[in-house]
Structure 1
Amino acid sequence: MANDLTTPLTGRKRRPGGPRPQLPIARILFAVLALIAGAFVLRLVLTDDPNGGRPSEEVAITSTQNSNQLANEVSTGPVTITADPQQFPAGSSVTSVPSGTMGANSIAGLPDIFGALPDLSEETSDGPIPRVSATGQTPFSTYSRPLDPATPINLPKIAIVVTGLGINEQGSLDAIDDLPDEATLAFAPYGKTLTTTVAAARAAGHEVLLEIPLEPFDFPQNDPGPQTLLTGEPLRANLDKLFWLMARFGGYTGVINNMGARFTASAADFSPIMEELGTRGLGYLDDGSSNRSLAKQLAAGNKVPFSRADLTIDANPARQSILAALASLEAKALENGQAIGIVSALPISVAVIAEWSRELETRGILLVPASALMK
């Protein structure tokens, strides 16, 4: 008698109450998905639709339903745009900045107020940065304030460098107006109106320097600012920061350090930066804040015009203290033939320097730009 084991599969019948056969659901779903994918591919192949089936709608640019009144006026003719009274108060005037300044500072022919001659500029992703021209002309020699040919060369000389300009626009413009033309002005790289304030400084006859933030020993507790050059960083990283700083404005003769006791003491980190300054024809002025600085040796090795400040004049920003420091600076100039003083752009410091400078020549000492004392 046959049993289930010997009964052919094709002839087996389901017993009453037994389980129903299972449908191949996975195979069915796979087949459906394959059909959908195939249909999608065929549609892409057979349909010329650059939008790939994405919903789109065409709207005429000249639609009369545009609610932007100013845009409509611009599209149909001239329109007058009124300046924000907060940005440009009523009754004020626009000061025209000349396209050039005296002598070697001339930037005649430059179409904007960036302040750099095209032949002395290299375009980068951050903006124009200084370079030596094809004829060998350097930014240091071009943008330095020239000495008056009648200047007695045998008299002791003092240079005053005013730092921290450019962040406070009105304070910077006041300093530019009040200070003697021979004062060298150093601009921080963070002001929002640097191109205009630097252009105003150069139009008034001042030579300018760029302040570059360098790592101090207590960084980051004491932070010179964004894009500070750091020890131990890859060379490319520090050069990228340097190029960003260099592109903040144009027309400067060289750079001056802002802090940097740790950085300027590290030959491995400082040497490539000084080499770059030499390659680009810029000078370097050491603010004299660190006795461990290698700037003098590195500048000599890279043929960078260099000098070191002798004294910070307003370490104590009070009138009598500033005058006492200026007297010490005069003594150094009489002893050594020259001296450089650093002063911040504080109103009290600017006022005292302006007053002091008027009588300096009567004491047998000349006030000269810093570049005149950079070797």
Structure 2
Amino acid sequence: MANDLSTPLTGRRRLRRGSGRPHFPVARLLFGVITLIAIGVVLRLVLVEEPNGGLPSIEAGITNTQTGNSVADSAASGPVTLTADPVQYPAGAAAPSGAAPADNAGAPTTDTTILADLSEETSNGPIPRMSSSGETPFAAYRYPFDLAAAPGPKIAIIVTGLGINAQGSYDAISQLPDLVTLAFAPYGKALERTVSAARGGGHEIMLEVPLEPFDYPQNDPGPHTLLTGEPPRQNLDKLFWLMSRFGAYTGLINNMGARFTASAADFAPVMEELGSRGLGYIDDGSSNRSVAEQLAGANKVPFARAGMVIDANPARASILSALASLEAQALDQGSAIGIVSALPISVQALSEWAAELDSKGIALVPASALMK
């Protein structure tokens, strides 16, 4: 004991190390194994072409999920040519008592071709124009509604945002009354088919055009947005691209655009173009600074301004409350226009509300019927 206490500390460490079992380099061995595994993984990734990363896979045929939706099936059954049917949408014609055209009774027709006299070829594709005889796309493609058959208060509903989700668009088309106007965004991959389904179902349609909001580009309505401060020719080139995405529409409705619609210098060339081509324009009512009404009047563009966004709060109770407010506006002013997005909850609430509108003494009308 005395010898151990008197032995220097370094000496005791040497004695203890020398007196135990042989040291085995476990840490070094584990490090070497991990290194070899890592090298193997890297070599496999580099040398073996396997995009699924070794995950199990199976090939399966893709089937059409649109069965059960007659509108979607009729549009997806084969190639569709978008043209205006002169029987279904004759210029200046009127449907008795606000009913759908006779061709829309029962199964919807898919004969919705664009009238050649109302089409102009461009580098982007055909766009609407006024015919040499003065016939306009607004008159040719509008729903032929007889206002005299509905002398009481009137409400027009425009459903926006269609075309981007094809199946959602088909569902909305099949649920909504044909007197509801449908507005399609210019970006969907199957626009010709969804627009054809809408026309075949009896709806009049509009084109949504993206216009610059005040917080652009943080809030971006989409490609080919018309911008303030750009040369008029550049904005018109964008407009022609947007107008060529599909055909047979009565006019345009803005998507955003508080800054653009407030600038007469930028908006005037666009409205002048709509007037010369015989198209209408609806202002969604989101900006009090919009000069759309003045410009539309100066260029003889059929025009209306929406009074309310129905599903600003996309909850069923809020939607029904907004529709009740729209009814009150129609009773007070004689007519009202509401904007609704194509959300499933909005479409369902709207279709149920529309079924009871006649009993309240209010007529549901297409948007073109309220455009001056």
Q: TM-score range by the shorter chain?
A: 0.7 to 0.9
Deviation, structure 1 residue 113: 7.6
* Counterpart contact for 1:115–1:195, Cα < 8 Å: no
> Aligned to 1:314, which of 311, 315, 321?
311
Look up the match of 2:135: 137
Pairwise mapping of residues 26-175 of structure 1 onto structure 2 (< 5 A)? 85-86=61-62, 88=64, 94-95=76-77, 100=85, 102-104=88-90, 115-148=113-146, 152-175=149-172
In 2, the alpha carbon distance for the partners of 1:130 and 1:265 equals 25
Unpaired segments ≥5 residues, structure 1 = 1-83
* 3-state SS in 1 of match to 2:126: strand
**By how many angstroms is 1:90 displaced?**
11
Code of the aligned partner of 1:332: Q
What residue is the counterpart of 2:233 in the other structure? 236
Distance 2:111 2:149 in 1: 34
Return the offset for 1:258. Answer: 0.2
**What are the superposed Cα offsets for residues 196-251 of structure 1, whole Å, 9 maximum, x if unpaired?**
10011001000000000000000000000000000000111100000000000000
Asked if 2 retains the 8 angstrom alpha-carbon contact of 1:162 and 1:343, the reply is yes
Larger of the two Rg values belongs to structure: 1
Q: How many pairs were matched up?
A: 287
Tell me if structure 1 keeps the 8 A contact 2:213–2:260.
Answer: yes
How far is the alpha carbon of 1:85 from its aligned partner? 3.5
What secondary structure, in the 3-state scheme, does the structure 2 residue paired with 1:240 have? Answer: helix
- Going from structure 1 to structure 2, the CA distance change for 1:222 and 1:300 (only over 3 Å counts) comes to same
Q: Deviations over 1:341-360 (max 9, x none)?
A: 00000000000000000110
Q: CA deviation at 1:115?
A: 3.8
Q: Post-superposition shift, 1:114?
A: 7.7
Q: Residues 253-283 of structure 1: CA distance to partner in whole angstroms, max 9, x if unpaired? A: 0000000000000011000000000000000
Q: Which of 356, 366, 369 lines up with 1:372 in the alignment?
A: 369
Q: Is residue 273 of structure 1 aligned with residue 264 of structure 2?
A: no
CA contact (8 A) 1:113 1:196 kept: no
Q: Which secondary structure does the structure 1 equivalent of 2:171 belong to?
A: helix
Residues 213 and 87 of structure 1: is their aligned pair in 2 closer, same or farther, counting only changes over 3 Å? farther
| 1:169-208 equivalences in 2 (<5 Å) | 169-208=166-205
Cα distance between partner residues in 2 of 1:85 and 1:114: 32
SS of match in other structure, 1:222: coil
Contact 1:162 1:342 in 2 (8 A): yes
Q: Which amino acid aligns with 1:290?
A: S
Residue in structure 2 matched with residue 67 of structure 1 by the alignment: none
Report the CA distance between 1:299 and its aligned residue: 0.2
How far apart, in 2, do the equivalents of 1:185 and 1:229 lie?
22
Read off the aligned partner of 2:117 and give its amino acid letter.
D
Distance 1:88 1:130 in 2: 33
Give secondary structure in 2 for the equivalent of 1:350: helix
Matching residue of 1:300: 297
How far apart are residue 102 of structure 1 and its match? 2.2
How far apart, in 2, do the equivalents of 1:358 and 1:329 lie?
Answer: 16
Q: What is the TM-score of this pair, normalised by structure 1?
A: 0.73
How many percent of aligned residue pairs carry the same amino acid? 67
Q: TM-score, normalised by structure 2?
A: 0.73
Equivalent position of 1:287 in the other structure: 284
Q: Shift in Å at residue 86 of structure 1? A: 3.0
Contact 2:111–2:200 (8 Å) recurs in 1: no
SS in structure 1 at match of 2:235: helix
Distance 1:148 1:338 in 2: 15
Q: What's the secondary structure of 1:206's corresponding residue?
A: coil
Q: Is the contact between residue 184 and residue 370 of structure 1 (CA under 8 Å) also seen in structure 2? A: yes
Change (3 A) 1:294 1:164: same
1:104 CA displacement: 2.4
Unmatched runs of 5 consecutive residues or more in structure 2: 1-59, 92-100, 104-109
Shift of 1:154: 1.8
Question: Which amino acid is the alignment partner of residue 254 of structure 1?
Answer: G
What is the CA distance between 1:88 and its match in structure 2? 4.7
User: Which structure shows the bigger proportion of residues in helix conformation?
Assistant: 2
